[in-house]
Amino acid sequence: MHPQLTPSIHGHEVMDAILASGRLFTRESLAAFVVERFGLGTRFHTCSAAGMTAAELVDFLAARGKFVGTEEGFTVNAEQVCEH
């Protein structure tokens, strides 16, 4: 029997889902959205990090300037999404 693998989703897919939602988020509501969309046990990776929870991914993206707006309401800064 094979052990259950924890899914890992790339941050680009998450940013695409955020943009497609057309919503504004706080850090807390965004982490909840990511869990709802991709699942509680899912981990996330980017080109430079792996194994992140939804909340860790939100913090990671925020620290890299991937969001536009204020802490009270922000979305993905489409100009900051790399295309690789």
Is the whole model's pTM more than 0.95, yes or no? no
Please give the Cα distance from 75 to 23 (Å, whole number). Answer: 7
pLDDT at 82 over 70: no
Domain enclosing residue 59, as ranges:
8-73
User: Residue 80 domain-assigned?
Assistant: no
pLDDT digits (tens, 9 = 90+) for 55-79: 999 999 999 999 999 878 998 887 7
- Number of domains present in the structure of the chain: 1
User: Residue 79 domain-assigned?
Assistant: no
User: Residue 37 domain-assigned?
Assistant: yes
pLDDT digits (tens, 9 = 90+) for 20-58: 999 999 999 999 999 999 999 999 999 999 999 999 999
Phi then psi dihedrals of residue 50, to 5 deg: -150, 165
In this predicted structure, what is the pLDDT of residue 56?
96
Residue 23 DSSP code: -
Q: Name which of 29, 34, 40 is nearest 17 in CA terms.
A: 34
Length of the chain: 84
